[in-house]
Amino acid sequence: MSFADHIRRCNNYDPAGAVPLVAGDQRIGWLRRDNAAALARFTRVFAVAAERVDLLASGDADAVSAAVDEVVEALVVDGRVPKWRNETFDVMPRWGDQPIFRLDRGAVPFFGVRAYGVHLNGYRREDGLLSLWIGQRAPDKRVDPNKLDNLVAGGIGNGHGAAATLAKEADEEAAIPAGLIRRAVPVGAMTYRMETPIGIRDDVMFVYDLEVPDDFAPQNRDGEIVRFELMAMDAVLDRIRTTEDFKFNVNLVILDFALRHGLLRPDEPGYLDLANGLHRSLD
């Protein structure tokens, strides 16, 4: 692996293999062609054509959610959607828009709707050298079990904003006190689009940096992280360069951290592909 390989892996989306999912005149997802075909039998909810799928269900978000839920339930029975996560994400054409419906998290990649999450770089600076608090994911996590992770990360569930999600996850995942997490600095957003066995991940990560005091040590409360380790940035970057030890998208969050903190240099080969590759166009 090189730095660029991690970015390529998160952006292996194949446009030729997908058709747009459209609500009214707005695209709200990307359906892999076999997933689009699997929706053809739900004629009250979706209209499946060769090059697009239209959402037919109408009404307020509750009504549309109920109609789509019935379809998702059937897809779970078919084994096309792995399981209910009992957590729903808002489906909206663009960040900040009113949601058209709510979708079970497990079905999000099936429909290729955009999902939003927060990631926190918890760092310390000693004698000018940076280190990062790194977590190890529990062995029973559905995505990337046992892999290394940011200090805090989580998806933005329906009705929640980025800041509220960060505060909640910071408490559950790392027991960061409320007074400390308030000092987290929002530092931008990253985007990627990736093929998965279920469908297409079209992800946005809102990124925060938090300088933590020397006497802070994270403690997991929700069982999703089995241990935390403070790692020197040199070691972190070496490990990203040479292994797949980190969760697939966490590599990108840490590369962005390295870029913003001057740990990579514009005159090094590949710098520009990295700086640019972390931001896929929103279309």
186 scored as a contact of a second copy (CB under 8 A):
yes
Q: Which is nearer to a second copy, 24 or 270 (CB)?
A: 270
Of 24, 177, 188, 223, which lies in the binding site for a second copy, with binding defined by CB under 8 A? 188
Residues sharing a CB contact under 8 Å with residue 250, sequence separation 6 or more, in sequence order: 119, 147, 148, 149, 150, 153
DSSP string computed for 8-19: HHHT---GGGEE
- The CA-to-CA distance between both ends of the chain, in Å, stands at 28
Q: Which is nearer to a second copy, 221 or 279 (CB)?
A: 279
Q: Which is nearer to a second copy, 145 or 270 (CB)?
A: 270
Cβ distance 147 to 239 under 8 Å?
no
Q: Which is nearer to a second copy, 42 or 206 (CB)?
A: 206
235: left (phi over 0), alpha (psi -120 to 50) or beta: alpha
Burial class (CB in 10 A: 0-12, 13-18, 19+), 122: buried
Applying CB under 8 A, the span of 34-42, 68-76, 88-96, 99-107 interacting with a second copy comes to 88-96
Of 55, 57, 75, 204, which lies in the binding site for a second copy, with binding defined by CB under 8 A? 204
Residue 281 CB, shortest distance to a second copy, in Å, is: 5
How far out from the chain centre does Cα 199 lie?
14
Instruction: Lay out the site mask for a second copy across 246-275 (x = CB under 8 A, - = otherwise).
Output: -------------xxxx-xxxx-xxxxx-x
Encoded tokens for 65 = 């959610």
Burial class (CB in 10 A: 0-12, 13-18, 19+), 174: buried
DSSP-derived 3-state class of residue 234 = helix
59 scored as a contact of a second copy (CB under 8 A):
no
The DSSP output letter for 182 is T
22 scored as a contact of a second copy (CB under 8 A):
no
Residues between 92 and 121 with contacts to a second copy, criterion CB under 8 A: 94-96, 118
The DSSP output letter for 159 is T
129 scored as a contact of a second copy (CB under 8 A):
no
Q: Which is nearer to a second copy, 230 or 259 (CB)?
A: 259
Residues that bind a second copy (CB under 8 A): 94-96, 118, 161-163, 185-189, 191, 204, 206, 259-262, 264-267, 269-273, 275-276, 278-282
